[in-house]
Amino acid sequence: MNFFSTFGRYVVLLSRVFAKPEKPKIYLQQTIREMESLGLNSVGIVIIISIFIGAVITLQTRYNLESSWIPLYLIGLTARDTLLLEFSSTMVGLILAGKVGSNIASEIGTMRITEQIDALEMMGINSASYLILPKIIATMVFNPFLTLISMFVGLVGGWMAVILTGALPSSDYVFGIQYLFVPFYITYALVKTVVYAFIITSVSAFYGYNVQGGALEVGRASTRGVVYSSILILLADLVLTQLMLA
Amino acid sequence: MIQVDNLSKAFNNVTVLHDISVTFEKGKTNLIIGRSGSGKTVFMKCLVGLHEVNAGNILYDNRNFVKMDFRERKQIRREIGMLFQGSALFDSLTVEENVMFPLNMFSAMSPAEKRARVNTCLNRVNLADVNKLYPGELSGGMKKRVAIARAIVENPRYLFCDEPNSGLDPMTSLVIDDLISEITHEYDITTVINTHDMNSVMEIGEKVIFIHEGNKEWEGTREEILDTGNKNLDDFVFASNLAKKIKSLSR
Ligand SMILES: Nc1ncnc2c1ncn2[C@@H]1O[C@H](COP(=O)(O)OP(=O)(O)O)[C@@H](O)[C@H]1O
Ligand SMILES: [Mg+2]
């Protein structure tokens, strides 16, 4: 019962979010601002995490495949496919749910409790659309670049690990990451990323927009936004994988 | 003029406002007074449609707001300026951008005209050289002034102020009260002010309504308020020891 009423309110909010914008030009400006604050500002964390995970995946695969009859280039291939299939989309999505999701929920929640949302409504502005639509569009457009960056940087991280540790010849790694390359994996990862971006932004905005009370409730909304968008990301991962790879 | 007929409001079967009827007059400061939690904010938000009423009518110069659809309400809202309790300035925008915000959204003015209008309004509230500051860099009183400037930037016919003095020292409160009162008379606005501050009542209350636990218990002028015979109102008016003392001396 509670689930259905929450879902119902989520749908109602989305229908307001996607109402026709009053001033497209202002929405465009807002979208560009949000790309900067939600997208560009996440490039750093995505790079750091991807470098390390790329390195760790490569080393782990190497040390798990000690037997000599397995060709060493398969290590590069495994690292690549792990990054392309799962890490750079889903893991990065979960990290962004934590970073961007809490940011959105607390920003909008604070605007709610300080009556800034009421002020927008009083000016005759559709506050749901004005506050949320630019964020949804900005993340759906920008996050695929984060995923691509993560893939590239992750592969570089693996390569650096190979060079620094000498765990395998770098030529094997470089050959492996090109061997049996399936371009569709990138499409698959990008589709997942776009769906995750929608989930993160709309779900955390929903919890922020419906805050009632004070600072404590804003904190709670931010936690809920992160938790529920993470769960939904994992569900979407399962569904999209079955749909696209089966 | 705003006429309210038999307005009632409940949240989840708890009635917060009981059958309130009142008329707010044009060109005057109409004060709604009552203790904290008596329903002033809910009442004001009902008047502007931020809460839906359960019963009653609200007539803005004979246009019934309650019966209007979304579009017509939006039109009325463009004629309303509102000052929220915590000022409700947009944190991420500068003072100038805050005041200009309604103009950017709706007006066909050129950028130069908009800037001129913003400066006129900021001057009107006696603020200078703060255009580029952010709300976080302003004092409480300055925030209130910016919020007033934003509320009047589109020349409203109606002005709503929810506790304009909350969080301000007595001197600054007086300044803000006088400002609202002056603007009301200057532009002939129908102004409605929520307050629990007796100083405001005595300073600017041209018409005063007393709400107690969601009921309108009294209405009159500030001259009449000291001698009403209403127990609840007396408790409110003479709440402080100072006031009680003055009252006993005047007997
Ligand atoms: N959104 C809401 N849901 C339920 N009850 C509310 C809501 N807003 C206010 N109330 C209740 O309505 C009563 C009046 O509150 P309010 O209008 O804020 O008082 P005040 O006169 O101090 O402005 C209070 O008892 C408050 O708990
Ligand atoms: Mg109040």
What pLDDT, in 10s, does the model give residues A144-203?
Answer: 999 999 999 999 999 999 999 999 999 999 999 999 999 999 999 999 999 999 999 999
Selected residue with higher pLDDT from A2 and A208: A208
Residue B217 has pLDDT above 90, yes or no: yes
The whole-angstrom distance between B73's CA and the closest CA on chain A is: 8
B68-88 in b/e burial notation, b at 16+ Cβ within 10 A?
beeeebbebbbbbbbbbbbbb
Residue B240 has pLDDT above 80, yes or no: no
Structural domains in chain B (count): 1
Structural domain that includes position B189: 1-44+162-251
Residue B247 has pLDDT above 80, yes or no: no
Facing residues of B219 across strands? Answer: B209
Using a CB-CB distance cutoff of 8 angstroms, which residues of chain B are in contact with residue A124? 74-75, 77-78, 105-106
Which residue, A63, A57, A64, A62, is CA-closest to A79?
Answer: A57
Give, using CA atoms, the residue closest to atom 23 of ligand 1: B41
Average pLDDT for B106-120: 94
Residue B84 has pLDDT above 70, yes or no: yes
Kindly determine whether residue B88 and residue A23, on different chains, have CB atoms separated by under 8 Å.
no
pLDDT given for residue A74 in this prediction: 93
Q: Where are the domains of chain A?
A: 46-245
- DSSP secondary structure, B60-121, as one string: ETTEEGGG--HHHHHHHHTTEEEE-TT----TTS-HHHHHHHHHHHH----HHHHHHHHHHH
Structure tokens at A70: 């397995």
Contact with chain B for residue A21, Cβ under 8 A: no
Contact A34, A133 (CB under 8 A): no
pLDDT given for residue B242 in this prediction: 78
Kindly determine whether residue B50 and residue A118, on different chains, have CB atoms separated by under 8 Å.
yes
Name the least confident of A98-107, B20-29, B195-204.
B195-204
Q: How far apart are CA B9 and CA B228, in angstroms?
A: 27
Contact with chain B for residue A124, Cβ under 8 A: yes
Q: Radius of gyration of chain B from Cα atoms?
A: 19
Residue B106 has pLDDT above 70, yes or no: yes
Q: Side chain identity at B190, as an amino acid letter?
A: T
- In the block, tokens 């709604």 appear at B32
Kindly determine whether residue B78 and residue A22, on different chains, have CB atoms separated by under 8 Å.
no
For residue B47, report the distance from its CA to the centre of ligand 2, in Å. Answer: 14
Structure tokens at A211: 């805050």
Average pLDDT for B169-173: 91
Does B88 fall in a domain? no
- pLDDT band with cut points at 50, 70 and 90 for residue B250: confident
Task: Quote the percentage of chain A above a pLDDT of 90.
Answer: 91
Structure tokens at B41: 């904010």
**pLDDT single digits (tens) A110-126:** 999 999 999 999 998 99
Q: How far apart are CA A105 and CA B168, in angstroms?
A: 30
- In the block, tokens 């008016």 appear at B237
Strand B207-212 and strand B215-220: the pairing is antiparallel
- pLDDT band with cut points at 50, 70 and 90 for residue A97: very high
Residue B92, Cβ density class (10 Å: 0-12 exposed, 13-18 middle, ≥19 buried): middle
pLDDT given for residue A69 in this prediction: 80
A and B: number of Cβ contacts within 8 A: 45
Query: Cβ–Cβ contacts within 10 Å for residue B45, how many?
Result: 20
Which residue, A75, A71, A48, A47, is CA-closest to A61?
Answer: A75
**Closest CB from B45, B77, B90 relative to A124:** B77
Q: Does the C-beta of B33 come closer than 6 Å to ligand 1?
A: no
Does B194 fall in a domain? yes
Task: Identify the CATH number of the domain in which residue B236 sits.
Answer: 3.40.50.300
Contact A188, A242 (CB under 8 A): no
Helix (H) or strand (E) holding B51: none
pLDDT given for residue B126 in this prediction: 92
**pLDDT single digits (tens) A67-95:** 768 899 999 999 999 999 999 999 999 99
Residue A90 CA, chain-centre distance (Å), reads: 7
Average pLDDT for B225-234: 88
Instruction: End-to-end CA distance of chain B: give it in Å, rounded.
Output: 38
Dihedrals φ, ψ of B238, to 5°? Answer: -105, 45
SS3 assignment, position B162 = strand
pTM for this model (two decimals): 0.92
Q: Does the C-beta of B86 come closer than 6 Å to ligand 1?
A: no
Kindly determine whether residue B82 and residue A22, on different chains, have CB atoms separated by under 8 Å.
no
Q: How far apart are CA A121 and CA B195, in angstroms?
A: 23
Residue B251 has pLDDT above 70, yes or no: no
Strand B55-60 and strand B63-64: the pairing is antiparallel
**Closest CB from A114, A121, A123 relative to B50:** A121
Please determine, for the modelled complex, whether the ipTM score is greater than 0.90. Answer: yes
Assign residue B108 a region: left if phi > 0, alpha if psi is -120 to 50, beta otherwise? alpha
**Which spans in A177-214 are helix H?**
184-209
Assign residue B229 a region: left if phi > 0, alpha if psi is -120 to 50, beta otherwise? left
Structure tokens at A114: 């300080």
Using a CB-CB distance cutoff of 8 angstroms, which residues of chain A are in contact with residue B50? 118, 121-122
Structure tokens at A160: 């650096």
Residue B240, Cβ density class (10 Å: 0-12 exposed, 13-18 middle, ≥19 buried): exposed
